[in-house]
Amino acid sequence: MSLLFGASAEALILPRPFNNKITAGFVFGDSTVDPGNNNYVGTLFRSDFPPYGMDFKGQTPTGRFTNGKLTTDLVVSYIGIKEYLPPYLDPNLSIEELMTGVSFASAGTGFDPLTAQISSVISLPKQLEYFKEYKKRLQSAIGQKRMEAIVKEAVFLVSCGTNDFVVNYFTLPIRRKNYTASAYQQFILQNLKQVLQDLWDEGARRITVTGLPPMGCLPAVITLNSKNAILDRGCIEKFSRAAMEYNQMLQNELNSMKSRLAHLGAKIAYIDIFTPLVDMIQGLGKHDFDEVSYGCCGSGFLEAGFLCNPKSFVCFDASKYVFFDSIHPTEKTYTKLFMASRPVVDSMIQD
């Protein structure tokens, strides 16, 4: 990563001096927010090996599917909680580390239960079970009152859904036999609503939900769905249109929940990653990157997870790329997504 960008990224995430209220950060979702839980799961969907982590502290492959930090690391650092958000399944976490939050996310999962089964990863219901387990562990260590206070003043983030559509619906035939695209969007949304209800029941009061990215612009999706993947690297409209439609449905649902629960002290917000990613790939921010349709790792066409490994060719400077592998963004892209979402983060942490 360039020194110039490294310096500017560090400046962007200086802790806010006025945060004396937000206690912790808790994250649920897929590979975009998994800092390494899959290291402890019997699945092929792992990234605890180089070149992943090549720009992380100590060039450590932590299990994050990128070259450096995830957006959730930047968020907790910005809020002033801690530098990185660790995986809950790390057996070495201290009570002090647990108290300020963890990620329960698992790469390869989705809101559709079948998605997690296909990948042998942690489903969303299981992530919620882990959160309940987490609360019991904390209660045993610091007492129920302190535990409940931490949960009440924590920020929760849910980021999931891409695998449901890209892998489970459009690539595999099972769900397409029983659902139209519109019906599947409704099915995913109903499962998301259940996750939010469960979080609410467990004490969450500040909840953010990330929408889907422009799925048709993921390098792997372009490769698998273009007539000539080498010459034509344009986004696949069918996938991105499905994401746009779902995102609108999601926003409508979150606005409705926000209205119903506002009098109970709820803060519920939508985080748009679709628009800033489209800007980076096709529009306003394209000049910030040399490559927008290939990953930095390997050929950039299909490599991700175990296909992006220590034997893979790796680009010299990942900050010149939107994507690190054929699916996941680089740290620079995650930083720009954080910058775009900062107003939502601010609204979450202010009274």
Q: What is the mean pLDDT of residues 96-116?
A: 97
Does residue 250 lie within any of the structural domains?
A: yes
Does residue 253 lie within any of the structural domains?
A: yes
The pLDDT of residue 9 is above 70: no
Q: What is the mean pLDDT of residues 259-273?
A: 89
Does residue 16 lie within any of the structural domains?
A: no
Euclidean distance between CA atoms 299 and 277, whole angstroms: 21
**Tens digits of residue pLDDT in 164-189:** 999 999 999 899 999 999 999 999 99
Euclidean distance between CA atoms 299 and 236, whole angstroms: 19
Look at 7-21, 40-54, 194-208, 224-238 and tell me which has the smallest mean pLDDT.
7-21
Q: What is the CATH number of the domain that holds 226?
A: 3.40.50.1110
Q: What is the mean pLDDT of residues 235-251?
A: 97
Does residue 269 lie within any of the structural domains?
A: yes
User: What domain range includes position 47?
Assistant: 3-8+21-349
pLDDT of 288 reads 86
Does residue 13 lie within any of the structural domains?
A: no
pLDDT of 2 reads 37
**Tens digits of residue pLDDT in 270-329:** 999 999 999 999 876 667 899 999 999 999 999 999 999 999 999 999 999 999 999 999
Q: What tokens appear for 76 in the block?
A: 């907790």
Q: What is the 3-state secondary structure (H, E, C) of the chain?
A: CCHHHHHHHHHHCCCCCCCCCCCCEEEEECCCCCCCHHHHCCCCCCCCCCCCCCCCHHHCCCCCCCCCCCHHHHHHHHHCCCCCCCECCCCCCCHHHHHCEEECCCCCCCCCHHHHHHHCCCCHHHHHHHHHHHHHHHHHHHCHHHHHHHHHCCEEEEECCHHHHHHHHCCCCCHHHCCCHHHHHHHHHHHHHHHHHHHHHCCCCEEEEECCCCHHHCHHHHHHHCCCCCCCCCCCHHHHHHHHHHHHHHHHHHHHHHHHHHHHCCEEEEECCHHHHHHHHHCCCHHHCCEEEEECECCCCCCCHHHCCCCCCECCCHHHEEECCCCCECHHHHHHHHHHHHHHHHHHHCC
Euclidean distance between CA atoms 114 and 118, whole angstroms: 6
The pLDDT of residue 229 is above 80: yes
Residues marked active site are found at 31, 325, 328
Does residue 14 lie within any of the structural domains?
A: no
pLDDT of 167 reads 94
Average pLDDT, the chain: 92
Q: What is the mean pLDDT of residues 60-66?
A: 97
Look at 57-71, 172-186, 206-220, 273-287 and tell me which has the smallest mean pLDDT.
273-287
The pLDDT of residue 71 is above 60: yes
Does residue 299 lie within any of the structural domains?
A: yes
Q: What is the mean pLDDT of residues 199-227?
A: 96
Structural domain count of the chain: 1
Does residue 121 lie within any of the structural domains?
A: yes
